[in-house]
Amino acid sequence: MGLLSDPVRRRALARLVLRLNAPLCVLSYVAGIAWFLALVFPPLTQRTYMSENAMGSTMVEEQFAGGDRARAFARDFAAHRKKSGALPVAWLERTMRSVGLEVYTQSFSRKLPFPDETHERYMVSGTNVYGILRAPRAASTESLVLTVPCGSDSTNSQAVGLLLALAAHFRGQIYWAKDIIFLVTEHDLLGTEAWLEAYHDVNVTGMQSSPLQGRAGAIQAAVALELSSDVVTSLDVAVEGLNGQLPNLDLLNLFQTFCQKGACCARFRLQPQDWTSLDGPLQGLQTLLLMVLRQASGRPHGSHGLFLRYRVEALTLRGINSFRQYKYDLVAVGKALEGMFRKLNHLLERLHQSFFLYLLPALSRFVSIGLYMPAAGFLLLVLGLKISSLHEAEVGLEEPGGVGFQGLTAGGMVVVFGDPLAPGPISKSLCALQGVGLASLVAPLLISQAMGLALYVLPVLGQHVATQHFPVAEAEAVVLTLLAIYAAGLALPHNTHRPLSCRVVSTQAPDRGWMALKLVALIYLALQLGCIALTNFSLGFLLATTMVPAAALAKPHGPRTLYAALLVLTSPAATLLGSLFLWRELQEAPLSLAEGWQLFLAALAQGVLEHHTYGALLFPLLSLGLYPCWLLFWNVLFWK
């Protein structure tokens, strides 16, 4: 503390940081990347463990043996669905009542902001069917949910059959202390969102739905099930929810524990390897990168992702049927689900003792928030160092004698002003300089934010105008408007800088204009990336990895073409495009340039659609926050 409280030592430290600014920035950036790569190695990665005492033991006897019944239910469901061409609501009601459930339905409708070409829908209407198994040993104050999403193009008949068979089996047990809701939703996530909004009596997405006639207790946990075959070779678990939310780690540990007990192969992204050799950490890094990319997208990767918004711990289980020797039937999957629900039935309070913020290099290993946040901290330190450097160059240091005011320009030249507190022409010049300097920042700040607002508002509002004047569909009009506004931001004359005059002993005093603008842009970027990293580390780290170097190097001097190319390659749109190529490369399905561009256009449309449909925040974050901030650095680069 003496180093910071002593003015002489503080000035010496400031001069040292200013002198070694470039090496410190490079060292900090390299340290952030190296720290992230080291997360797959012990002791940064740890073995998972159960923190909740009520779920610490798996000493329950799973008795589910309804595999044949589940297959029969699945065949009947598929036949009735093929016959009706939609969700067989009447058959589901009749079947659920036959196994002893209280059955209710909910109708919903939603007009999308523009047609969803991926699922070929615009005006969506459907019906959800759910049955409630009342707890015989407690009041209806708490509940668990087993849900199966049924989309128009999904083959999830086996999951519906297993849900009905489990409902029949659970109905014959007397140990349930929580209500169990068996939910079948239509139109995938749209049906799930409609049911959740009605259950919690809120409307956050503009969904039109009928009120629920039957309710259970407060939902403690939920499991979404997706099966495409009667047999599976492994169960893949999805944990990433809306806006990067994750379920409590104990729920994931519970799933892994019962899969191990039943000798059912569970996996997370890739197959686990031996961590004692080098191949294990390398594949752990690949799995970690896949999770980072999925979490950074902000998309709900399964129906469970919408439950997390309502503080309901949930995950999605997907049955994988690949060409492997060992296969498991519906009985093995049913026993794993029965064990999970029996242990969740023991909970006396919500899951809270384990981690909510973590990364997974493997299903059996995790990295806690305290161990992965330094990676983002080192990257943000680069911005802090540049802010400190520009602050010293812009404001200067006060001399201990205290009459004069001394500032350092970017080139190291000394600018001497009079005492700003003393009356006279020097103080008036300094005040005028500061006033004009602040005024020169207003135009680029306002225009950059206006471009971000236009990027957020105009694509959806102007789609009908675009379709009337150009031969494009609504979804294409939205994407093309996005690209047009994004590119137009690069050509607008943001800079309204005027020559400033004051009594200075340097010809580099006009540098104060772009230095002040870059100082504001760096602070703006650091605040955004810091807040993003706290809520969605994956998104914050990816953006910091790409945007920090270009932001630190941006200046109107030197190789401007090289700096401009670096800024364009690290823009938010280029980061999204590069992430798509990296995602497919990690999945060992590389893309060609044409395929990557088409996938990029589809990702833009889906990002806008998911924001207006489910409330995903990635699109407004990029358009209203990071894109205007990036334009400020573009303005710094071409400062006149």
Same domain, 442 and 347: no
The CATH number of the domain where 331 resides is what? 3.40.630.10
Task: Encode 253-273: b = buried (16+ Cβ within 10 Å), e = exposed.
Answer: bbbbbbbeebebbbbbbbebb
Residue-level pLDDT at 263: 56
More confident residue, 67 or 57: 67
pLDDT of residue 325: 60
pLDDT at 249: 93
Residues 458 and 600 in one domain: yes
Assess whether 300 and 156 both reside in one domain: yes
Return d(Cα 601, Cα 618) in angstroms, integer: 15
Say yes or no: 321 and 452 in one domain: no
pLDDT above 60 for 62: yes
One domain, residues 513 and 632: yes
Do 555 and 453 belong to one domain?
Answer: yes
What single string gives the DSSP state of each residue in 390-435?
HHHHHH-EE-SS-SSEEEE-TTS-EEEE--TTS-SHHHHHHHHHHH
- Asked if residue 277 and residue 135 are part of one domain, the reply reads yes
Q: For residues 202 and 138, give the distance between their C-alpha atoms in angstroms, rounded to a whole number.
A: 27
Q: Are residues 347 and 446 in the same domain?
A: no
Could you give the CA distance from residue 378 to residue 382 in angstroms, rounded to a whole number? 7
**591 within domain boundaries:** yes
Amino acid at 43: P
**pLDDT tens profile 211-227:** 999 999 899 999 999 98
Which of 311, 343, 363 represents a domain boundary (last residue)?
363
Task: Give the lowest-confidence range in 19-33, 217-231, 263-277, 484-498.
Answer: 263-277
Task: Give the torsion sign (CA, 633, 479, 576, 122).
Answer: positive
In a domain, 65, yes or no: yes
Structural domain contains residue 378: no
223 bridge partner residues = 146, 315
Rg (CA), the chain: 29
Record the tokens describing residue 287, joined without a space.
């799995």
What counts of helices (H) and strands (E) characterise the chain?
A: 22, 15
Taking only the tens place, the pLDDT of each residue in 260-269 is 776 566 666 6
**What average pLDDT does range 372-395 have in this prediction?**
88
**Which of these three, 333, 363, 393, is where a domain ends?**
363
Q: What is the mean pLDDT of residues 406-416?
A: 39
Q: What is the pLDDT of residue 583?
A: 92
- Considering the domain boundaries, does residue 466 fall inside one? yes
**Does residue 536 belong to any structural domain of this protein?**
yes
Any domain includes 597: yes
Q: Per the structure, how many domains does the chain have?
A: 2
Residue 403 lies in a domain: no
Tokens of 399: 């001399």
Mean pLDDT of all residues in the chain? 83
Structure tokens that stand for 452 in this block: 């971000």
Q: Are 359 and 467 part of one and the same domain? A: no
Is 270 a residue whose pLDDT tops 80? no
Q: Which of 321, 337, 363 is the last residue of a domain?
A: 363
Query: Which residue matches tokens 């400031």?
Result: 14
* 157/286 same-domain check: yes
Q: pLDDT digits over 83-142, tens only?
A: 888 899 999 999 999 999 999 999 999 988 888 877 777 888 999 999 999 988 778 889
Inform me whether the pLDDT recorded for 436 exceeds 50: no
Domain coverage including residue 275: 53-109+123-201+215-363
Q: Is the pLDDT of residue 304 over 90?
A: yes
173 with 290, same domain: the answer is yes
- Residue 268 has a pLDDT of 64
Work out whether strand 313-320 and strand 234-238 pair parallel, antiparallel, or are unpaired: antiparallel
Q: Is the pLDDT of residue 392 over 60?
A: yes
Amino acid letter, residue 121: R
- Identify whether 75 is part of a domain: yes
pLDDT band per the 50, 70, 90 thresholds, residue 394: low
- Say whether both 605 and 472 belong to one domain: yes
Q: Residues 138-187: pLDDT tens digits?
A: 788 899 999 999 977 667 899 999 999 999 999 988 889 999 999 999 98
State yes or no: pLDDT of 422 exceeds 70: no
